[in-house]
Amino acid sequence: MDPAYRDMLADVAGMYYLQEKTQNDIAEALGLSRVKVYRLLKEARDAGVVEITVHRAPARNSRLERELCERFGLTDARVLDTGGLEEADAGRGVG
């Protein structure tokens, strides 16, 4: 990709994501249509000029939390979902 074009994608993305300008505002400022601004923003994401990360709260394993409370008489337990790690491995050493 041409460096000047990549810079333009970065400029448009910066206006949208960092300066929180609307697509209409950007279109007016740059003499483009709103549809063109939308396409440039999509291209910026697709080309890796923009990376969007959503941070969710860690998932919990409520079934294992209940089992721990029942087995050990706990009033509360917090167990993060292991994302595929076998429960036998995750629970090793508990007992």
CATH topology of domain 3-46: Arc Repressor Mutant, subunit A (1.10.10)
Nearest one of 59, 61, 92 to 77, comparing CA atoms? 61
Beta-bridged to residue 80, according to DSSP, are 60
One-letter amino acid at 53 equals T
**pTM for the full predicted model:** 0.60
Domain-by-domain residue ranges, the chain?
3-46, 56-95
Give the tens place of pLDDT for each residue, 50-89: 999 988 778 888 899 999 999 999 999 999 887 766 555 5
Q: State yes or no: pLDDT of 94 exceeds 90.
A: no
For residue 84, what is the DSSP state? T
**From residue 20, how far is each of 25, 34, 78 by CA, in Å?**
10, 15, 38
Q: End-to-end distance of the chain based on CA atoms, in angstroms?
A: 58
Q: State yes or no: pLDDT of 44 exceeds 70.
A: yes
Distant-in-sequence, close-in-space partners of 76: CB < 8 Å, separation ≥ 6 = 69
